[in-house]
Amino acid sequence: MNSFWLDSIENKTKFNKLENDISTDVCIVGAGIFGLTCAYYLMKQGYNVVLLEKEKDIASKTTGHTTAKITSQHNLIYKYLIDSLGESMAKKYLYVNQDAIENIAKIIEKEKIDCDFERQDSYVYTNNLDELEKIKLENEAVNSLGFKREFVTSTHLLFDVLGAIKFPNQAEFNPMKYAYGLAKCITSSGSSVIDGLVNAGSVGSVSVGDGIVENDSSNASSEGANKDSHSFTSNSTESNNSFSINSTGPINSFTESSDKHINSFKVTKGTGEIYTDTLVQNIEKENDEFITSCKDCVVKSKYVILASHYPFIDRLGYYFLKMYQSTSYVIAVDIGNKTFDGMYINSEQPTFSYRFVNGSNGKRLLLVGRCRS
Ligand SMILES: Cc1cc2nc3c(=O)[nH]c(=O)nc-3n(C[C@H](O)[C@H](O)[C@H](O)COP(=O)(O)OP(=O)(O)OC[C@H]3O[C@@H](n4cnc5c(N)ncnc54)[C@H](O)[C@@H]3O)c2cc1C
């Protein structure tokens, strides 16, 4: 049986299998939402990125089989986090997850990704008297983190609930449409140009990290985006600044400005390549380089990100001892005109998760997930 999300993509972009050795800045293993998001942000920061996916489609494993709610409400997690890791960590967890929602919204808006993104309130509810106290304690925990959330006794569900916590202004989307949208941005990168300023000193090299260009022999700095080292020379007199770029990397043109020591430059953003049907079998470090081995070829890179969901390189983690499988089932059902707002999950086991999706004929279908760990 195919995933509803996978079937919802028309004219899927086809990616090639990697068949020859290549080099890049960052090699990312796994093209689910995590790998694609890393590739997107790194490429925007000027890194050249190669994404390797073992399946024929991107995002076709976990990402393509989720309920695709975008929310910082993860069942009853905040009381647990406060009790086990303290308030500060719980707060960080909450705020990074809130940021993630807004970041996804920003990407969708900026890149014009058509992925059925909709704002929805999210609820964790119960109909079990024993759970009600836990829901109330969770609500207190969330509010103690400075995040005002509501305990409610009525929702839009078609049945009554004893109590629920409402997180307003969360979101839902179609994860496959989003993934293909990200992939398009990643693979069509490399042609856009960022303007920046170098406050040049005498002679030095422009080394760049995290989007900041720095001249390490003087006080040169800029909001550019490039990660390589580029040497340049500057006859740094008030009116005579000349640069020679000793690089094949992304900095590709400098122009002078009349300001003393200030020179504008243009930086090409990083490039992104995605290869599917490419199983990574091993990753090793040789000197300063990572060698990511597939069946018939290797990728050499400065950095590697394992975005494979399951960490298949199991050196020190002993994950095989700690991890276990759980199976969830999600189905899409036509329930006629009885659609309702919001996204829901109950707090007890087995878990039932609900939200609506747009069916191909424009009908709203109820997506129901059931999970027991
Ligand atoms: C039923 C269910 C519902 C969920 N609902 C939600 C939800 O509503 N909202 C939410 O935020 N989260 C939800 N999740 C959690 C979900 O797992 C994550 O949000 C997210 O989709 C995980 O993405 P990922 O990129 O880490 O993993 P994946 O999507 O699994 O991506 C990992 C990729 O790595 C590839 N890979 C693995 N090994 C290799 C290798 N050796 N070589 C090359 N490629 C490799 C895989 O093929 C895969 O494509 C749900 C999970 C489940 C199971």
All structural domains of the chain with their residue ranges: 4-186+274-322, 193-268
Give me ligand 1 centre to Cα 318, in Å: 20
Separation of CA 174 and ligand 1 centre (Å): 14
Confidence tier at 189 by pLDDT (50, 70, 90): low
Give the whole-angstrom CA distance, residue 325 versus residue 263: 57
Least confident of 21-35, 136-150, 259-273: 259-273
Higher pLDDT, 326 or 235: 326
What is the mean pLDDT of the segment spanning 223-242?
33
Cα of 11 to ligand 1 centre, how many Å?
23
Phi, psi at 59, each rounded to 5° = 55, 20
**Architecture of the 4-186+274-322 domain:** 3-Layer(bba) Sandwich (3.50)
Q: How far is CA 308 from the centre of its chain?
A: 13
Q: Using CA atoms in the order 335, 336, 337, 338, what is the torsion angle rounded to 10 degrees?
A: -20
Ligand 1 atom with least separation from CA of 35: 25
> From atom 51 of ligand 1, which residue's Cα is the shortest distance away?
66
pLDDT score of 207 more than 50: no
For a substitution probing ligand 1, which of 53, 66, 98, 299 has the most ligand atoms within 8 Å of its CB? 66
The per-residue pLDDT for 372 is: 64
Q: List Cβ neighbours of 83 (8 Å cut-off, separation of 6 or more).
A: none
Q: Name which residue sits closest to atom 38 of ligand 1, judged by CA.
A: 308
Mean pLDDT of 62-75: 95
What's the pLDDT band for 359 if we cut at 50, 70, 90?
confident
Which of 52, 56, 62 has most ligand 1 atoms within 8 Å of CB, for mutation?
Answer: 62
* Lowest mean pLDDT across 24-33, 199-208, 222-231: 199-208
List the residue whose alpha carbon is closest to atom 20 of ligand 1: 63
Model pLDDT, residue 225: 36
Residues with CB under 6 A from ligand 1: 29-35, 52-55, 59, 61-63, 65-69, 279-280, 307-309, 312, 328, 330, 369
Name the residue with higher pLDDT: 341 or 208: 341
Q: Which pLDDT tens digit goes with each residue over 270-306?
A: 999 999 999 999 999 999 999 999 999 999 999 999 9
Tokens in use for 370? 């059931």
pLDDT band at 361 (very low <50, low <70, confident <90, very high): confident
- 205 pLDDT more than 80: no
CA 147 to ligand 1 center in whole angstroms: 28
61 CA → ligand 1 middle, Å: 6
Confidence at residue 3, expressed as pLDDT on a 0 to 100 scale: 86
Enter the tokens of residue 213. 């260009």
Task: Note if the bond before 350 is cis, omega within 30 degrees.
Answer: yes
**Closest CA to ligand 1's atom 30:** 62
**117 or 358, higher pLDDT:** 117
Per-chain mean pLDDT for the chain: 81
**pTM score:** 0.82
Higher model confidence: residue 264 or residue 68? 68
The residues, ordered by sequence, that sit 6+ positions from 251 with a Cβ below 8 Å of its Cβ are 206, 224, 226, 228, 230, 245, 265, 266, 267, 268
